[in-house]
Amino acid sequence: MVYRNVLKDPAAMREMLAATGGRRDVPVMVEGGKATVGYGGS
């Protein structure tokens, strides 16, 4: 697992927004190209 701080790393923020379709919720886990957002996995 790789932790990326999206508040301090603009490139990580762009990747997160691309993976989540613009959602700004955390945590975001990307595995096998599929993004899981939030602790409940929604």
pLDDT value of residue 26: 84
Domain that holds residue 7: 1-42
Q: How far is the C-alpha of 10 from the C-alpha of 7, rounded, in Å?
A: 7
> Quick check: 11 and 4 in contact, CB under 8 A?
no
DSSP 3-state of 12: helix
Q: Specify the number of domains making up the chain.
A: 1
* Low-confidence stretches of the chain (pLDDT beneath 70): 41-42
Q: How far is the C-alpha of 9 from the C-alpha of 41, rounded, in Å?
A: 23
